Chain A
Amino acid sequence: MTTNVEIMKTKAEKAFAEHFASVSGSLPSDAVALDARQAAMSRFDELGLPHRRIESWKYTDLRNALTVDVPAVGDATAVSAADLDAALGPLAGLDTYRAVFVNGRLDEGLSTLPSMTGVEIGSSSGAPAMDDALAAESIVALNTAFVTGGLAIKIADGVAVDKPLMIVSARAGGSDLLVTTRHDVSVGTKASLTLIEAFASIGGTAGQSNALVTITIADGGRLDHTKVGATVAISDLATWRAHLGNEATYRAFQLIPGAPLARNQVFVTFDGEGSALDFATAAMGNGKDHIDSTIVVDHRAVGCTSRELFKGVLDDSARGVCQGKVIVQQIAQKTDGKQMAQALMLSEDCEFDSKPELEIYADDVVCGHGSTSAEVDPDLVFYCRSRGIPEAEAKVLLTESFVAETIDHVSSESLRDALSEIARNWLAANHTK
């Protein structure tokens, strides 16, 4: 007796299909042509929304989590510079170039793009270059189907961009929106760029967000990449796909200051020798927040170094998920890979799920991982109290320093200060018990 059960499409899956059918004609064809969008949609139809039976989505069951109707695709909306700066908070004061996307479409009036030679900034177009990692992800298919805009950034060989480039993804208009963007970043040989992705909400505009960033760093190139998640109710799905050449450096940092549903997945492949990855995440959640940070690092070349650090602060019934997978292929001797996931549990009802995986086929490597979860160390609190700091304040102080360790991974000092301020603001607003 065998039973073949046909998987029923969920309401959200059907809604995506119906929504696509009604809006596909109006989506910008210069971003992705209609037939490529349709192909992506049929791939989504095959894959369905990821669910807990799919190993890499075990702790984030989108099929269950996405129950609401798909919001309308965002359209260009006028936003004042002052409103935007207010929404950006501490990030607004940074001296950066800016590319501002409002509701998924570039607003040239608010943007200041670099005009130096060797920096080529256009619009991303066509379907993204697919590989096994991306092809398996149905949210990438959704991105291709619904994408409305994004940048194609090319830094020529040897060019060091003088100021960071901040890509702002703002949403405005008040009603829930579906905002889908894709940026393609290519850093040339011995070139360098600091990229900041900031997600902001104006007037409390919420909805869904699906962002894809593809990255290639050529030999000796360097990319400093920072993401600051939005604080307003959004389901935030983000995928980064990076390929590193020889002696390349990729330093990435993500700050997620609360999100009802966030999934940040990062795929990094070492194609060249002697490259280094440093990836850190600070996730802070309260209420019913669900924050998932998933990274897959594939060592395919000799002598590369990877470091991943996740720190989660979880309050109320928030849930933090950290999945890190380091694959060391047979050829990748002398690999040095370390990952650490730590959660600070501030309430009885929060949850932390950690899955630090190693898949190793080479014998001359140093790989390790660690994972811890616990409440604030009572000894440390006692120490603070013995020095005259009240208990509540001591806990905030200790939590702050816990988060600060991840922010230390960011190279730029002014950016570090802004990030610290965002983290402190979140803690002050949400963790005052």
Chain B
Amino acid sequence: MPAVQDTIDQVKEIDVDQYKYGFTTDIETDKAPKGLDESTVRFISDKKGEPEWMLEWRLQAFERWQAMAEPTWAKVNYPKIDFQDLYYYAAPKGAEGPKSLDEVDPELLRTYEKLGIPLKEQELLAGVRKQGEPSTLDGDMPEGDPGQRRVAVDAVFDSVSVVTTFKKELAKAGVIFCSMSEALREHPELVRKYLGTVVPQTDNYYAALNSAVFSDGSFVYIPEGVRCPMELSTYFRINEMNTGQFERTLIIADKGSYVSYLEGCTAPMRDENQLHAAVVELVALDDAEIKYSTVQNWYPGDKNGKGGVYNFVTKRGDCRGNSSKISWTQVETGSAITWKYPSCILRGDNSRGEFYSIAISNGYQQVDSGTKMIHLGKNTSSRIISKGIAAGFSDNTYRGLVSAHRKATNTRNFTVCDSLLIGNNCGAHTVPYIEAKNASSHFEHEATTSKISDDMLFYCRQRGLNEEEAIALVVNGFVRDVLQQLPMEFMAETQKLIGISLEGSVG
């Protein structure tokens, strides 16, 4: 059935032509010379003052990358990227000093203010300014005040992290939350132990490129038994022209710990395509839980499909310990091309992976996204809920893998992937791979809304809702449940997406 007007209007509201983060900031930057060769890798490593082993690691990745071929299996089309025509490193000048907001270029702060991201929350900024005074630290942000949620932010501007807030308070809990370059200086042993253990250097073409030239990103370590006292968040901004952003995020949740991490991204409107090739690695040890949420809003290009960010991202979580849990939530609205499959390797027994996604494409956007749930441990379970909405001339593909290893007995998977088409020039595709290698794994893959929960639907209908309303209520209620765990700032952005009704969904 066709989509109703309500839905159409809501999608139009987030149309590509109304991208509101498309401004640029005039700010002095340090750039590496254009192009990519071994010296670029050395330049970046040198600029960051990295230890020798890190440089070796990068060079190894670079060597392997040169021998690799660009992947072509995704359902996306784009002109060949000239990797020599990009800047691989751009840093706002003065960003390498001590990380206190006072020393940050005011132009930068204004940029973040304009973006309306967590940094803009003046209370938060005030909190940071007072960080040097331990006596007022607890006072400015009273704990237990439900009206104010506290979020620690790492802001990444082009290639470098410009500021990380709430560091000291986090340190009190033993949590390490800093930029990757800082982690390499302060905690090299942790970085060395975990970096590349989830996404190896040669995992894929873009992961190899990232391993060679990654410039910054966030590093999080939650020690044993600690529940991270606040949400952690990174905000990515590409500003410079012809610049690739290659950030690398590494989150380690030690035994019995918990962390919720959020990520947001925007870029200016430019006619050229910008490249974003990030790698995110999550490690959850015994009984640990990581919740990773993304609101991806890179510039999607104009209404004719000109410009926009190529978002080629490798995200993977490793439930390394028993009874660990990793949950991915993503709201994908931006990027000209998205190529992204946040995955879970369920290695530990009884571990759990979750993937919740709303992907909306409009204009000439192309989305090829999904997840991989790889069941290796016994009694592991996973759940995939994916909603794709395609409008305009866009293509929206769900591509996912669920596999159970021969020894992964008693595994469970439940998958629902729905897509909605608005207009007759777009495409919605589903490419699930389901591989069961033992008898006791129970896999269910559903792509029809009517089958989600007949009991619930029946209940709603009994209370006077028609079937369509009932379906929307049940499915939205479920998605909302997840999205409501995002902090307020992200909620504002995503709310209008959640309201979209799911009637007219096709498998």
Q: Measured between C-beta atoms, what is the minimum distance from B88 to chain A in Å?
A: 19
Question: A357 to B2, alpha carbons, bound, how many Å?
Answer: 21
Contact at B424–A351, with CB atoms within 8 Å? no
Proximity string of chain B (480-507) to chain A, C-beta cutoff 8 Å, 1 when within and 0 when not: 0000000000000000000000001011
- Of B244-252, B415-423, B454-462, the stretch lying at the interface with chain A is B415-423
- Of A168-176, A181-189, A370-378, A385-393, the stretch lying at the interface with chain B is A370-378
Contact at A368–B433, with CB atoms within 8 Å? no
Question: A375 to B419, alpha carbons, bound, how many Å?
Answer: 30
Question: A338 to B451, alpha carbons, bound, how many Å?
Answer: 13
Contact at B507–A369, with CB atoms within 8 Å? yes
Kindly list chain B residues whose C-beta atoms are within 8 Å of the C-beta of A349: 406, 438
Question: A55 to B75, alpha carbons, bound, how many Å?
Answer: 12
Contact at B436–A373, with CB atoms within 8 Å? yes
Contact at A352–B436, with CB atoms within 8 Å? yes
Question: A237 to B421, alpha carbons, bound, how many Å?
Answer: 37
Kindly list chain A residues whose C-beta atoms are within 8 Å of the C-beta of B426: 361, 363
Would you call B73 an interface residue if the criterion is a C-beta within 8 Å of the partner chain's C-beta atoms?
yes
Would you call B195 an interface residue if the criterion is a C-beta within 8 Å of the partner chain's C-beta atoms?
no
Question: A349 to B438, alpha carbons, bound, how many Å?
Answer: 6
Contact at B439–A369, with CB atoms within 8 Å? no
Contact at B429–A373, with CB atoms within 8 Å? no
Proximity string of chain A (344-383) to chain B, C-beta cutoff 8 Å, 1 when within and 0 when not: 0111111111111111111111111111111100000000
Question: In the complex where A362-B424, A369-B447, A370-B445 touch, is A345 in contact with B436 (Cβ < 8 A)?
Answer: yes
Contact at A353–B430, with CB atoms within 8 Å? no
Question: In the complex where A55-B73, A345-B436 touch, is A360 in contact with B506 (Cβ < 8 A)?
Answer: yes
Kindly list chain B residues whose C-beta atoms are within 8 Å of the C-beta of A129: none
Q: Measured between C-beta atoms, what is the minimum distance from B82 to chain A in Å?
A: 15
Which residue from A330, A365, A373 sits with its C-beta under 8 Å from B506?
A: A365
Would you call B437 an interface residue if the criterion is a C-beta within 8 Å of the partner chain's C-beta atoms?
yes
Which residue from B3, B67, B431 sits with its C-beta under 8 Å from A357?
A: B431
Q: Measured between C-beta atoms, what is the minimum distance from B272 to chain A in Å?
A: 26
Question: In the complex where A358-B429, A360-B429 touch, is A373 in contact with B507 (Cβ < 8 A)?
Answer: no
Would you call A343 an interface residue if the criterion is a C-beta within 8 Å of the partner chain's C-beta atoms?
yes
Question: A55 to B433, alpha carbons, bound, how many Å?
Answer: 11
Kindly list chain B residues whose C-beta atoms are within 8 Å of the C-beta of A374: 439, 441-443
Question: A330 to B390, alpha carbons, bound, how many Å?
Answer: 14
Contact at A372–B406, with CB atoms within 8 Å? no
Question: A427 to B404, alpha carbons, bound, how many Å?
Answer: 26
Contact at B435–A1, with CB atoms within 8 Å? no
Would you call B427 an interface residue if the criterion is a C-beta within 8 Å of the partner chain's C-beta atoms?
yes
Contact at B443–A373, with CB atoms within 8 Å? yes
Question: In the complex where A351-B436, A370-B448 touch, is A358 in contact with B406 (Cβ < 8 A)?
Answer: no
Would you call B304 an interface residue if the criterion is a C-beta within 8 Å of the partner chain's C-beta atoms?
no
Which residue from A338, A355, A363, A367 sits with its C-beta under 8 Å from B431?
A: A355
**How big is chain B's contact interface, by range?**
35 or more
CB nearest neighbor in B for A333: B424
Question: A99 to B419, alpha carbons, bound, how many Å?
Answer: 47
Q: Measured between C-beta atoms, what is the minimum distance from A366 to chain B in Å?
A: 6
Q: Measured between C-beta atoms, what is the minimum distance from B419 to chain A in Å?
A: 7
Question: A361 to B423, alpha carbons, bound, how many Å?
Answer: 9
Which residue from B409, B425, B507 sits with its C-beta under 8 Å from A368?
A: B507
Contact at A364–B2, with CB atoms within 8 Å? yes
Which positions 176-190 of chain B face chain A at CB distance < 8 Å?
A: none
Would you call A115 an interface residue if the criterion is a C-beta within 8 Å of the partner chain's C-beta atoms?
no
Question: A346 to B436, alpha carbons, bound, how many Å?
Answer: 12
Contact at B432–A375, with CB atoms within 8 Å? no
Would you call A3 an interface residue if the criterion is a C-beta within 8 Å of the partner chain's C-beta atoms?
yes
Question: A374 to B442, alpha carbons, bound, how many Å?
Answer: 5
Proximity string of chain A (1-22) to chain B, C-beta cutoff 8 Å, 1 when within and 0 when not: 1110000000000000000000
Question: A353 to B432, alpha carbons, bound, how many Å?
Answer: 10
Would you call B204 an interface residue if the criterion is a C-beta within 8 Å of the partner chain's C-beta atoms?
no
Contact at B422–A363, with CB atoms within 8 Å? yes
Contact at A371–B427, with CB atoms within 8 Å? no
Kindly list chain A residues whose C-beta atoms are within 8 Å of the C-beta of B429: 357-360
Question: In the complex where A348-B439, A360-B428, A362-B421 touch, is A372 in contact with B444 (Cβ < 8 A)?
Answer: yes
Kindly list chain A residues whose C-beta atoms are within 8 Å of the C-beta of B445: 354, 356, 369-372
Q: Measured between C-beta atoms, what is the minimum distance from A343 to chain B in Å?
A: 7
Would you call B446 an interface residue if the criterion is a C-beta within 8 Å of the partner chain's C-beta atoms?
yes
Q: Measured between C-beta atoms, what is the minimum distance from B133 to chain A in Å?
A: 56
Kindly list chain B residues whose C-beta atoms are within 8 Å of the C-beta of A361: 424, 426-427
Question: A414 to B419, alpha carbons, bound, how many Å?
Answer: 42
Kindly list chain B residues whose C-beta atoms are within 8 Å of the C-beta of A373: 434, 436, 441-443
Would you call B476 an interface residue if the criterion is a C-beta within 8 Å of the partner chain's C-beta atoms?
no
Q: Measured between C-beta atoms, what is the minimum distance from B289 to chain A in Å?
A: 28
Q: Measured between C-beta atoms, what is the minimum distance from B403 to chain A in Å?
A: 9
Looking at B422, B437, B442, the one whose CB has the most chain A CB atoms below 10 A away is: B437
Contact at A363–B436, with CB atoms within 8 Å? no
Kindly list chain A residues whose C-beta atoms are within 8 Å of the C-beta of B444: 370-372
Which positions 365-389 of chain B face chain A at CB distance < 8 Å?
A: none
Contact at A375–B439, with CB atoms within 8 Å? yes
Would you call B260 an interface residue if the criterion is a C-beta within 8 Å of the partner chain's C-beta atoms?
no
Question: A345 to B1, alpha carbons, bound, how many Å?
Answer: 36
Question: A320 to B244, alpha carbons, bound, how many Å?
Answer: 44
Question: A355 to B403, alpha carbons, bound, how many Å?
Answer: 12
Question: A99 to B100, alpha carbons, bound, how many Å?
Answer: 87
Contact at A346–B439, with CB atoms within 8 Å? yes
Would you call B440 an interface residue if the criterion is a C-beta within 8 Å of the partner chain's C-beta atoms?
yes
Would you call B66 an interface residue if the criterion is a C-beta within 8 Å of the partner chain's C-beta atoms?
yes
Contact at B435–A364, with CB atoms within 8 Å? no
Question: A353 to B441, alpha carbons, bound, how many Å?
Answer: 13
CB nearest neighbor in B for A372: B444
Kindly list chain A residues whose C-beta atoms are within 8 Å of the C-beta of B446: 370
Q: Measured between C-beta atoms, what is the minimum distance from A332 to chain B in Å?
A: 11
Contact at A368–B443, with CB atoms within 8 Å? no
Question: A355 to B438, alpha carbons, bound, how many Å?
Answer: 17
Question: In the complex where A345-B438, A374-B443 touch, is A368 in contact with B2 (Cβ < 8 A)?
Answer: no
Contact at B1–A364, with CB atoms within 8 Å? yes
Q: Measured between C-beta atoms, what is the minimum distance from B415 to chain A in Å?
A: 8
Question: In the complex where A1-B67, A370-B446 touch, is A359 in contact with B439 (Cβ < 8 A)?
Answer: no
Contact at A367–B442, with CB atoms within 8 Å? no
Question: A365 to B447, alpha carbons, bound, how many Å?
Answer: 14
Kindly list chain A residues whose C-beta atoms are within 8 Å of the C-beta of B506: 358, 360, 365-368
Kindly list chain B residues whose C-beta atoms are within 8 Å of the C-beta of A330: 424-425
Question: A370 to B433, alpha carbons, bound, how many Å?
Answer: 12
CB nearest neighbor in B for A352: B436
Kindly list chain A residues whose C-beta atoms are within 8 Å of the C-beta of B67: 1-3
CB nearest neighbor in A for B418: A368
Kindly list chain B residues whose C-beta atoms are within 8 Å of the C-beta of A357: 429-432
Q: Measured between C-beta atoms, what is the minimum distance from A328 to chain B in Å?
A: 8
Question: A354 to B444, alpha carbons, bound, how many Å?
Answer: 11
Contact at A355–B507, with CB atoms within 8 Å? no
Contact at A347–B439, with CB atoms within 8 Å? yes
Contact at A345–B2, with CB atoms within 8 Å? no
Question: A16 to B299, alpha carbons, bound, how many Å?
Answer: 53
Q: Measured between C-beta atoms, what is the minimum distance from A299 to chain B in Å?
A: 12
Q: Measured between C-beta atoms, what is the minimum distance from B401 to chain A in Å?
A: 10
Q: Measured between C-beta atoms, what is the minimum distance from B386 to chain A in Å?
A: 13
Kindly list chain B residues whose C-beta atoms are within 8 Å of the C-beta of A366: 1, 506
- Not counting A338-B448, A369-B445, a sample of 20 additional A-B residue pairs whose C-beta atoms are within 8 angstroms of each other reads A330-B425, A345-B440, A347-B439, A348-B406, A348-B440, A350-B439, A351-B435, A352-B435, A354-B435, A356-B430, A358-B429, A362-B421, A364-B2, A366-B506, A367-B447, A369-B507, A370-B444, A370-B446, A372-B442, A372-B445
5 pairs of A and B residues whose beta carbons are closest in the complex: A345-B439, A368-B448, A368-B507, A363-B421, A371-B445
Can you pick out 28 interface pairs between chain A and chain B where the beta carbons lie within 8 Å of each other? A1-B67, A2-B67, A345-B438, A348-B409, A349-B406, A351-B436, A352-B434, A354-B432, A355-B431, A355-B432, A356-B432, A358-B430, A360-B419, A360-B421, A360-B428, A360-B429, A361-B426, A363-B3, A363-B422, A363-B504, A364-B1, A366-B1, A368-B506, A370-B444, A370-B446, A372-B444, A373-B441, A375-B439
Residue positions of B touching A, CB distance < 8 A:
1-3, 66-67, 69, 73, 406, 409, 419, 421-448, 451, 504, 506-507
